Amino acid sequence: MHTRSKIVVVACMLLLVQTLAIAISNGSTAAAFVSDLAQGGLGLTCLFACLHARSSSGKVSSYHWTWLALSFIVFVAAQSLGTYIDVSSHHGLDWLDDIQFSLSVIPIAMLPFLDPGREHNRLDRLHVLDFLQVSCFWMTVYLYFRNTRSLAYATVGWEGFGWSASVIFHAILTLSFLLRAVLGKSKAALTFFGGIAAYVFFSGLGDSYAALSSNNVQSGHWFDLVWSLSLCMHCCLR
């Protein structure tokens, strides 16, 4: 069995385990724990898929896969912290978990601005500085929207602010990848950017839905499968 086929099999097995856990004990602490572990495992599977694609990157630079792999490293760290919070009910760390998940988007957001024909396998100082600048910008935006969302809810009760911000961000990011896919000069670039556009779109649907506090999204429920399916899809697209 080829490595890519093994990646798809592992992703599907993790999705199946998560589905069974939720079906058996929907909403319980055990279901939340298994569901969180499955999502962390899917994040690791996506990371391995990126590293495997990086080693045989073809016309899409391995430099791109490095950034994408970095995104999943941060995602797995955030998911690990989220698992601890769900099991221990130590929700005082929710803010740190939110920041980690927010940081996991930054390497993905860098991709539309990189040259798909770049052949260097290491990060040079210029792109490290670009990454730090984008990180500072993204954290500023995150903190602004976080504070403004709290203020909007406290003053006028508008809990839809976070939802609107999430929809706008994911829509812009999805369109950026679609444009890079359409304007790309190779089939490899079309597949790469088009696949990420699909991943950002579907995961963005989950994030936007969860941004409405009235939906009361919690781990261990059926909605977890929305994020897991987007991760599984990412593994299969690689």
Phi, psi of 29 (to 5 degrees): -65, -35
- Residue 26, SS3? coil
Whether the CB-CB separation of 109 and 142 falls below 8 Å is answered with no
State which amino acid sits at residue 44: L
Neighbours of 79 (CB within 10 A): 26
What are the C-alpha distances in Å from 138 to residues 23, 95, 225?
Answer: 37, 16, 27
Q: Name the token pair of 30.
A: 């055990």
Q: Look at residue 18 in the predicted model and tell me its pLDDT.
A: 94
Dist. CA 6–CA 61, nearest whole Å: 23
Q: Look at residue 182 in the predicted model and tell me its pLDDT.
A: 84
Per-residue pLDDT of the chain (238 residues; tens, 9 = 90+): 678 788 889 999 999 999 999 999 888 889 999 999 999 999 999 999 888 887 776 555 677 888 888 889 999 999 999 898 888 877 777 777 777 887 788 888 878 776 655 555 455 666 666 666 666 666 666 555 555 554 444 444 445 555 666 777 788 888 888 988 888 777 777 888 888 888 888 888 887 777 665 556 778 888 888 889 889 887 776 6
Dist. CA 216–CA 136, nearest whole Å: 30
Q: Look at residue 146 in the predicted model and tell me its pLDDT.
A: 55
Q: Where are the domains of the chain?
A: 3-156+218-237
Closest Cα partner for 198 from 165, 222, 232?
A: 232
Whether the CB-CB separation of 22 and 35 falls below 8 Å is answered with yes
Closest Cα partner for 73 from 116, 43, 33, 118?
A: 43
